[in-house]
Homo-oligomer: A and B are copies of this chain.
Amino acid sequence: MLKEVPITNTHQEQATLLSSMHMLNKQISAKFEKCTGIGQSRLGILHYLYQVEEMSQTTLQKEVNIDHAAITRHLKQLEASGMVARRKSAEDNRVTLVCLTEEGRSKILHYQNEKDHFIQQMLSGFSKDELNLLADMVERMNQNISRF
């Protein structure tokens, strides 16, 4: 009659899992920034800019999946720190085109290295199968809650 785990514990375990994921994410955010010197979102923006010559803010916004307002503010700061340059589009005066500066292009390599190192540490001890399954589960959780 005994299953592996009483049904009443399942709820508790899953709640604990959610809580653990929440805490893990907070840890990751904090440590990522500490190790790399830049936040995940900010580096994500730079990452997309790196792969392209120029990009409108809206395109960028859709790629990195951050609010319009947040993009504007990130880019302002990145511009102020000399990492990116912005200019109005000639064809459509509403759009602002963004690109990495030379300085930004060289600095991002350093950030990427730190990021890779961070990830290596975070995932050390994980087998290839585990990583695949983890990616799969993350994807499925995303799917499951995307309907709401």
- Flag whether A131 is at the interface (Cβ < 8 A): yes
With beta carbons under 8 angstroms apart, the residue of B15, B121, B128, B148 that contacts A115 is B15
Chain B residues in 8 Å Cβ range of A31: 145, 148
How many copies the complex holds: the figure is 2
- In the complex, whether A139 has a CB less than 8 A from a CB of chain B is yes
The interface on chain A, measured as residues whose beta carbon lies within 8 A of the other chain's beta carbons, has a size of: 52
Contact of A144 with B124 in the complex, beta carbons under 8 Å? yes
Q: How far is the CA of A131 from the CA of B125 in the complex (A)?
A: 19
Q: Is the CB of A123 within 8 A of B148?
A: no
A5 near B: Cβ within 8 Å?
Answer: yes
Compute how far the CA of A20 lies from the CA of B22 in the bound complex, rounded to whole angstroms: 14
A8 CB to nearest B CB, Å: 11
Cβ-closest chain B residue relative to A35: B148
Known: A130-B133, A144-B121. A17 touches B116 (CB 8 A): no
- Taking a contact as CB atoms closer than 8 A, the residue among B121, B138, B142, B144 that contacts A123 in the complex is B144
Which residue among A22, A31, A133 has the maximum number of chain B CB atoms within 10 Å of its CB?
Answer: A22
> In A90-125, which residues have CB < 8 Å from any B CB?
115-116, 118-125
